[in-house]
Structure 1
Amino acid sequence: MMIDSDVVTLSRLQFALTALYHFLFVPLTLGLVWILAIMESVYVMTGREVWKRMVQFWSVLFGINFAMGVATGVTMEFQFGMNWAYYSHYVGDVFGTPLAIEGLMAFFLEGTLVGLFFMGWTRLSRVSHLLVTWFLALGTNLSALWILVANAWMQNPVGAKFNPQTMRMEVTSFSEVLFNPVAQAKFVHTVSAGYVVGSMFVLSISAWYLLRGRNVDFARRSMTVAASFGLAAALSVVVLGDESGYTISENQKMKMAAIEAMWDTEPAPASFSLFGIPDVQNRTTHYAVRIPWVMGLIGTRSLDTPIPGINNLVRDTKGKISDGLLAYDAMLALRKDPNDKHATSTLARYDEDMGYALLLKRYVADPRQATPADIDKAADATIPNVPVLFWSFRIMVACGFYFIALFAYSFWLASKRQLERRRWYLKLALWSLPLPWLAAELGWIVAEYGRQPWAIEGILPTALGVSSLTSGQVWTSLGGFVLFYTLLAVIDASLMTRYARQGPDQLGIWPPGNPHLPAEGGTPAVDDTHVARAHP
């Protein structure tokens, strides 16, 4: 049976849209919760009311964002059964465990701690509430860990083996899955990027208050925390991104070559292309501006190890497809006779390449009937979209270095108590608000788009993972998701903008002389009636 390319394309589009939209909320949750923990720690240590009110104000925006993250995350998990049924069957034994643990943490651990955080101001002591906040920060990050473990396995499938009798990948070592080096690098890099998002969020909104001369003491302190935490996070992103680059060169050589638009293998150590215009048709890069040695050091941690180019990797893939056909034929023989010793030894020898034979199913129903032309097309199909990866990576890196500069300057101004004295800087901080989200989304485009055509690197082609649906059915669900997510986007943007514009003064949170402040320890109300009474 031939694969319906329209169903594959639409299913990929639907998952990409929902994943990128969901990740608008995840990094802000990861970063903002730690800023709340820092602020509340200062409050408990000093007893100064302003720090408590800072926690309560920023927690209003945190709560809105957290709710949206949960709402958009739930729908993503249903897509595995709806649009990716064969993928779920094929790797469910491996993928299901970390996904289930992530769900338990998100809905039970995080949900419980969020409830205690918001409802515990009048029911818990200062220290107890602080512990809840810190556990919430830890729980949020642990929740992210498990989904990243699952995703990292898709990039580097370790600790599992194909069983020809069940036609599934099955876990052989859960510790290898958990301690996958790609998972470790991806986790620290991703959460650090979230810390940058949270820091920029607080920095930008606080800059807006200072530009208008509102909540000056409140905003100055918030910017100081954001600048300090953001600088550490931005530096971490760059350092940990280097580790991610190294793991890519070890496990996903085609992705690395595509990021660099490196068509042919360069002499070691490979240079880094600062600028260039990738030409896919002629397989060359025009106007390339290169920095010697940099990519070799990042990708191989050495001066004598080459990074293979795209053309070389395509030639290697053709050999893997040929070996994979031997494994595919042996797998079918074992399905008929599990005691076939020759087939068993053949599969054991070539099973790591069987996924490459499955690439042929995009062109022929039976890979064993593929022609040399089909093999050439399958090998060429392993080249991801080079221009998209090339420019996504460079824009992401440029944003990273910009964040370091901005947070470093913010930290310097905060140490000199001059944050509100440079209006050009405050405007720059405000206008920089969307950039961390742009960088985070581009990071996921590099990670996921660069893995194509694989759902599981080297094992399961994306085209084989889809459900048995018609394109019309996928269009229907895609349209429903677009409408639902558009509605959520409007609600989220209006709520976040509304409460950010009102600020702690109009919400009755600050200053302490406000007669409409809640009772000591209470959570401030944020309804329109309350605001109208506080500011007639």
Structure 2
Amino acid sequence: MIIDPEVVTLSRLQFALTALYHFLFVPLTLGIVWILAIMEAVYVMTGREVWKRMVQFWGVLFGINFAMGVATGVTMEFQFGMNWAYYAHYVGDVFGTPLAIEGLMAFFLEATLVGLFFMGWNRMSRIAHLLTTWFLALGTNLSALWILIANGWMQNPVGSAFNVQTMRMEVTSFSEVMFNPVAQAKFVHTVSAGYVIGSMFVLSISAWYLLRGRNTDVAKRSMTVAASFGLAAALSVVVLGDESGYAVSENQKMKMAAIEAMWETEPAPASFTLFGLPDVENHTTHYALRIPWVMGLIGTRSIDKPIPGITNLVEDAKGRIHTGIEAYDAMLVLREDKDNAQAKAILAAHDKDMGYALLLKRFMDDPRKATPADIQKAADSTIPNVPVLFWAFRIMVACGFYFIALFAVMFWQASKRQLDKRRWLLKVALWSLPLPWVSTELGWIVAEYGRQPWAIEGVLPTALGVSSVTSGQVWTSLGGFVLFYSALAIIDAVLMVKYAKKGPDGLGLWPPSEPVPPMTHVAAHAGA
């Protein structure tokens, strides 16, 4: 049976929409919880009540975001059964373990610590509550680690092997799955991006208070913490992004070539294309502005190793499809005769390429009947959407350098105790609020869209992972998710805006500011 492309497209669209929406909340949770931990540590060390009230106020916004993250995350897991049943069967032995551990941490450890955080202020000592907050921060980040271990395995499927008799990928080394270099690089890069979002969130809302002359004591202290933490996080994102780029060049060469719109292999060291207009039809990039050596240094950590171009990688894919067909044929023989020595030898030699033969399943029932034209079509399908990846990556990188500049300026202003002196700078901070989310969503597009046509890189094509459902059924579930998530979006926006506008004074957490005209006075300095 040839796969229905509409079912595949709709299933991908549904998962993409729910994943991108869920990821609006996850990085803010990862970032703001550490800011709470820092603020509470200052409170315990100094005993100054303003720091406690700061933790309680930002904790309210953290709690709203955390609840939304849990609500949107649960529904994502249902899709593995609804829309991706064969994927769940094929890789469940590997993929299910980190997801199960993450579920235990998210729904037991995190939920317990969140309850203690909110309910324990008058029931626990200062030190005990501080430890609760720090363990909450650690647990939240460890929860993200297991998700990214699972995702990293999809990008680089190490520590596993295909079992002919069960027709499943099975774990051969859990330590390899855990310490997958791609997963580790993704984890540190992703959580650092979350720290940037948390910092920008606190910085922007605090800037809004200063522009209106409200909660100045809380706002300036909050901005100082956010600027310091944000600057460190933004620098880390760039450094760790470089490590992530190296991991991509080692394990996902087509993704790297597509990000660079590198159609032909360049002499080492490859240049970085700062700007250009990728032309998919003619396999060229118009008006390319290149910086010599940069891509070679990032992608290979050397000056003498080339980065393969798209055309060369398509030719390589054609060769792997040919050997993959041999492995596919051997697999079918072993299904009938598990002791066939010749088939075992062929499969052992070419099992790493069988996934490439499965690319043909998108066009025909039996890959062994493929013509040269079919093989060319399958090889061409390994090219992701080059313009989308090219621009998504560059916008993301531009945002990263902008965050470094903004946090550095705000850190300098905080060090001089002049956070309330430049109205234009506060407006810049306020209007920068959406940008970290834009950059992180683009980062996920680069990571996930760039992996296509693979659900599991080199192992399972995305088109083979879908459930046996009709397009009408997927349309129904997609419509339901759109309605559900839209309702959650409205609720979240209303609650966040409502409580941010109330502020610490409106929530009764801190005395209201003196009624002075905004930005016309010299507020008391924000030193602890």
TM-score for both structures, normalised by structure 2: 0.97
* Alpha-carbon displacement from aligned partner over 1:270-313 (angstroms, at most 9, x marks no partner): 00000000000111000000000000000000000000000000
Structure 1 partner of 2:8:
8
1:269 is paired with a residue whose SS is: coil
2:6 maps to a residue whose letter is: D
Distance in 2 (alpha carbons) for counterparts of 1:343 and 1:298: 41
Structure 1 residues without counterparts, runs of 5 or longer? 515-536
Instruction: List aligned pairs for 1:428-507, cutoff 5 A.
Output: 428-507=428-507
Task: Specify the SS of the correspondent of 1:419.
Answer: coil
Q: 2:215 is matched with which residue?
A: 215
1:491-512 CA-partner distances (Å, limit 9, x unpaired):
0000000110111111111128
1:340 pairs with 2:374: no
**CA shift for structure 1 position 513:** 10
**Separation in structure 2 between the aligned mates of residue 2 and residue 499 of structure 1, nearest angstrom:** 53
Query: Counterpart in 2 of 1:510?
Result: 510
1:75-86 equivalences in 2 (<5 Å): 75-86=75-86
Q: Does 1:311 align with 2:286?
A: no
Q: Which residue is equivalent to 2:252? A: 252
Unaligned runs of 5+ in 2: 515-528
CA distance in 2 between partners of 1:96 and 1:511 (Å): 50
The answer to whether the 8 Å contact 2:214/2:512 transfers is no
SS in 1 for 2:24: coil
Q: Percent identity?
A: 83
CA contact (8 A) 2:314 2:379 kept: yes
1:424 aligned onto 2:424: yes
CA distance 1:251–1:513, change in 2 (3 Å): closer
Aligned positions of 1:11-90 closer than 5 A = 11-90=11-90
Corresponding position of 2:181: 181
| Matched residue type, 1:77 | E
| In structure 2, distance between residues paired with 1:215 and 1:111 | 30
**What is the alpha-carbon distance in structure 2 between the residues aligned to residue 160 and residue 228 of structure 1?**
42
* Equivalent residue letter for 2:202: V
Aligned twin of 1:533:
none
The alignment of Structure 1 onto Structure 2 pairs a total of residues equal to 514
Aligned mates of 1:3, 1:364 — CA distance in 2: 8
Matched ranges for 1:407-422 at <5 A: 407-422=407-422
1:176-209 superposed Cα distances (whole Å, 9 cap, x missing partner): 0000000110000000000000000000000000
1:97-156 CA distance string (max 9 Å, x none): 000000110000000000000000010000000000000000000000000000000000
What CA RMSD, in Å, does the superposition of the two structures yield over aligned residues?
0.8
The residue aligned with 1:99 is 99
Amino acid at match of 2:151: N
Is this contact kept in 1: 2:385–2:450, CA < 8 A?
yes
Residues 327 and 353, structure 2, Cα contact 8 Å, conserved in 1: yes
Aligned position for 1:289: 289
2: CA distance, partners of 1:39 / 1:255: 41
Q: Confirm or deny that 1:327 pairs with 2:343.
A: no
Query: Which residue identity lines up with residue 44 of structure 2 in the other structure?
Result: V
CA–CA distance in structure 2, aligned partners of residues 102 and 108 of structure 1: 10
Q: Look up the equivalent residue of 2:326 and give its one-letter code.
A: L
CA distance in 1, matches of 2:77, 2:189: 23
Kindly report structure 1 stretches of 4+ aligned residues shifted beyond 4 Å: none
C-alpha distance in 1 between matches for 2:499 and 2:171: 47
Separation in 2, partners of 1:195, 1:89 = 35
Distance change >3 Å, CA 513–CA 413, structure 1 → 2: closer
- Residues 272-287 of structure 1 mapped to structure 2, 5 A cutoff: 272-287=272-287
- 2:369 corresponds in structure 1 to 369
Cα distance in structure 2, aligned partners of 1:173 and 1:325: 27
- CA deviations on 1:52-75 (whole Å, 9 max, x unpaired) are 000000000000000000000000
**Aligned partners of 2:320 and 2:154: how far apart in 1?**
19
Residues 246-292 of structure 1, C-alpha deviations (whole Å, 9 max, x = no match): 00000000000000000000000000000000000111000000000
Equivalent positions of 1:200-239 (< 5 A) are 200-239=200-239
Cα displacement string for residues 15-74 of structure 1 (whole angstroms, at most 9, x for unaligned residues): 000000000000000000000000000000000000000000000000000000000000
